Amino acid sequence: MREKETVTCNFNFDSILEPPHNSLSIWRDAQRHGHAVMFLARQLAFKETGEQTTANEIAAHLKKHEARLIVEAEKVIATRWEFEDWRFPRRD
């Protein structure tokens, strides 16, 4: 005869709304970096589509080429000194 297994789950929702890191500055820096990457990706999409395009055309171009534009934006932030404040993790 087989013994009955008992599984205990310790999962609760107490800390679900808290940031994943205890330090708020790390969480804030990660958010700043993410916003900077998306902003720069939008700028790159605008540059690729030209000045005579509409906002909808730029949004469509960004959606179509989002992965490539994000990689390019992250590379720009990581390599150019002008974007040093937007890097994650910060090097103080």
pLDDT-derived band at 45, boundaries 50, 70, 90: very high
> In this predicted model, what pLDDT tens digit does every residue of 70-90 receive, in sequence order?
999 999 999 999 988 888 877
Domain residue ranges in the chain = 38-86
pTM of the model: 0.69
Contact 62, 41 (CB under 8 A): yes
| Percentage of residues in the chain having pLDDT higher than 90 | 53
* Start-to-end C-alpha separation, the chain: 63
